[in-house]
């Protein structure tokens, strides 16, 4: 919150990298998910990560927060490792982040209001009850959920839960927002609204967003950078327009919904 956002590097053609993933490898038992992911996330932009279901997108984004420890590799946020640091340092660095989990990860012992209020209360900022209530309501309104504050996660629909998770993620206006499938399970109107919101926060507040999504339309509308995870590595990283006409067989298969070659051997289909 307190850190000043630095728009300085944005003007030039050179990217200002905020998150740098370096050679991330991760296996669960015999099952290798990440085989060496290198990815630079530009500051103040929207980066979309696409890829087939089960390809390891959620696992990757959890590495960024240090929630999963990689077998090899590192994640640097402004040059500071999220992996090789003490828990206390990591928690300090995490204050710059907001995260929407794929399944919401709402605290089911708390009402929607308390879920959204949680990061505000825990941040240690002094604010009156009234101020807190106003901020929570504002965030709920931003995701189209005014008035559901009193309900518990168990009483909400899947899409509503996701949006409460979204409101919680943005509650502290963090500098970096990670969204794991923010619009899956939402109706078209709401999907559009959430995409707009992601875009606006990125544009107006210069917030860095990383969005995992299966919605290719949204990718074209919001992404500055698209990265495709395939076979445990970043297969393609480019802007949205380039992706559409990308010569890679794998990309074209993915975009057109055709089955594609299995990359489980680690052998990549090269363009």
Partner 1 sequence: MIGALLRPVEALGAAILGFLTLLGGVTRMAIEGWIMAVAPPYRLGLFFKQMDFVGVGSIVIISITGFFTGAVFTLQSNLAFRNFGAEGFTGATVALALTRELSPVLTGLMVTGRAGSAMAAEIGTMRVTEQIDALEVMAVNPVQYLVSPRLVASVIMLPALTMTYNVIGMAGAWLVGVGYLGIDDSVFWTRIWLYVDPDDIIVGLIKAACFGFVIAAVSCHRGFHAGGGAEGVGQATTRAVVISSVSILISDYFITSLLEYGLLAGG
Ligand X SMILES: Nc1ncnc2c1ncn2[C@@H]1O[C@H](COP(=O)(O)OP(=O)(O)OP(=O)(O)O)[C@@H](O)[C@H]1O
Give which of 8, 10, 2, 19 is closest to 176, Cα–Cα: 19
Pairing of strands 46-50, 208-212: parallel
Residue among 109 and 270 whose Cβ is closer to partner 1: 109
Task: Report the residue from 108, 131, 134, 173 that binds partner 1 according to the rule CB under 8 A.
Answer: 108
Least spacing, CB of residue 206 vs Mg ion, in Å = 27
Kindly identify the residues of this chain, within the stretch 39-98, that bind ligand X according to CB under 6 A.
51, 53-59
- What's the closest the beta carbon of residue 8 comes to Mg ion, in angstroms? 34
Do residues 178 and 98 touch, judged by C-beta distance below 8 A? yes
Cβ nearer to ligand X, comparing 57 with 139: 57
We find the least distance from the C-beta atom of residue 224 to ligand X, in angstroms, to be: 21
Write out the binding residues for Mg ion, residues 85-124 only, by CB under 5 A.
102
148 scored as a contact of partner 1 (CB under 8 A) = no
The interface with ligand X within residues 6-35 (CB under 6 A) comprises 28, 33
In the complex, least distance from residue 131 CB atom to Mg ion, rounded to whole angstroms: 35
Task: Please report whether residue 103 would count as binding ligand X according to CB under 6 A.
Answer: no
Site for ligand X in 30-49 (CB under 6 A): 33
Which one among 58, 142, 201, 208 touches Mg ion, defined by CB under 5 A? 58
79: left (phi over 0), alpha (psi -120 to 50) or beta: left
DSSP designation for 150: T
The Cα 243–Cα 166 span in angstroms is: 27
Q: Do 142 and 197 touch, CB atoms closer than 8 A?
A: yes
Burial class (CB in 10 A: 0-12, 13-18, 19+), 269: middle
Residues 170 and 194: beta-carbon distance below 8 Å: no
| Residues at the site binding ligand X, with contacts judged by CB under 6 A | 28, 33, 51, 53-59, 102
């Amino acid at each position: 919150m307190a850190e000043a956002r630095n728009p300085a590097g944005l003007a030039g053609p050179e990217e200002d990298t905020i998150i740098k993933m370096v050679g991330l490898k991760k296996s669960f038992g015999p099952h290798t998910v990440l085989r060496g992911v290198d990815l630079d996330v530009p500051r103040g932009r929207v980066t979309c990560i696409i890829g087939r279901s089960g390809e390891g997108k959620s696992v990757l984004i959890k590495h960024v927060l240090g929630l999963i420890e990689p077998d090899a590799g590192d994640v640097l946020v402004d040059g500071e490792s999220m992996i090789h640091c003490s828990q206390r340092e990591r928690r300090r660095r995490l204050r710059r982040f907001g995260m929407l989990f794929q399944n919401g990860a709402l605290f089911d012992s708390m009402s929607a209001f308390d879920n959204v209020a949680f990061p505000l209360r825990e941040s240690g900022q002094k604010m009156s009850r009234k101020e807190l209530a106003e901020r929570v309501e504002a965030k709920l309104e931003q995701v189209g959920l005014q008035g559901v504050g009193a309900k518990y996660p168990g009483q909400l629909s899947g899409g509503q839960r996701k949006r409460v998770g979204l409101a919680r993620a943005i509650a502290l206006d963090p500098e970096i927002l990670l969204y794991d499938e923010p619009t899956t399970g939402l109706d078209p109107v709401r999907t559009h609204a959430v995409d707009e919101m992601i875009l606006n926060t990125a544009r107006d507040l210069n917030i860095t967003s990383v969005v995992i999504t299966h919605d290719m339309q949204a990718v074209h509308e919001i992404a500055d950078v698209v990265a495709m995870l395939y076979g445990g590595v970043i297969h393609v990283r480019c802007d949205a327009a380039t992706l559409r006409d990308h010569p890679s067989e794998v990309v074209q298969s993915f975009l057109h919904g055709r089955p594609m070659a299995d990359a489980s051997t680690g052998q990549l289909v090269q363009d």
